[in-house]
């Protein structure tokens, strides 16, 4: 549960606008990151959950945190805007709680009906030549609205 609390903190910290008057929509996904997932610095990334957050008045603005429920591994968060094609343009990455770093990238979603079954997120942060390129491949086994 500590990992979930950290994940929620990362999601909430990624929003640069006041949200008190808006209804937050949280969805928790159980699943697994693939062996190809990494933090963009050569370190493999392990996760078994993803927490997606959006707000009722800003449904196109989304943040996703990938984490291990035990809280024993790092978390990574991505935020951006959902496009009309149902994929997300990433404009920020968080490697640490409260530290949103400008980024460019995208998250593609595989769906079955209205349910998300897989997520593939890639982003680039930092200056060319010294940038980090995290990649997350996440397969969903269960989706829960919170």
Which distant-in-sequence residues (6+ apart) come within 8 Å of 111 by Cβ? 86, 117
Backbone region of residue 86 per phi and psi (left: phi > 0; alpha: psi in -120 to 50; beta: other values): left
CA distance 132 to 9: 23
CATH classification of the domain holding 132: 2.40.128
pLDDT in tens, 48-90: 999 999 876 666 889 999 999 887 778 899 999 998 888 999 9
pLDDT, tens digit only, all 146 positions of the chain: 455 554 555 555 454 444 555 678 899 999 999 999 999 988 899 999 999 998 766 668 899 999 998 877 788 999 999 988 889 999 999 998 788 999 999 999 999 998 999 999 999 998 888 889 999 999 999 999 88
Q: Show the domain range for 90.
A: 2-145
**What is the total count of domains within the chain?**
1
The model carries a pTM of: 0.84
């Amino acid at each position: 549960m500590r990992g979930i609390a950290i994940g929620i903190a990362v999601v909430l910290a990624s929003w640069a606008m006041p949200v008190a008057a808006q209804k937050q929509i949280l969805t928790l996904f159980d699943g697994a990151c693939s062996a190809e997932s990494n933090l963009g610095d050569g370190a493999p990334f392990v996760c078994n959950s993803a927490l997606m957050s959006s707000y009722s008045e800003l449904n196109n603005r989304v943040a996703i945190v990938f984490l291990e429920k035990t809280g024993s591994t790092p978390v990574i968060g991505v935020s951006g805007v959902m496009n009309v094609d149902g994929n997300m343009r990433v404009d920020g990455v968080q490697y640490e709680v409260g530290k949103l770093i400008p980024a460019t990238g995208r998250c593609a979603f595989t769906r079955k009906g209205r349910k998300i079954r897989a997520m593939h997120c890639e982003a680039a942060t930092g200056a060319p030549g010294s940038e980090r390129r995290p990649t997350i491949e996440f397969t969903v086994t269960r989706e829960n609205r919170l």
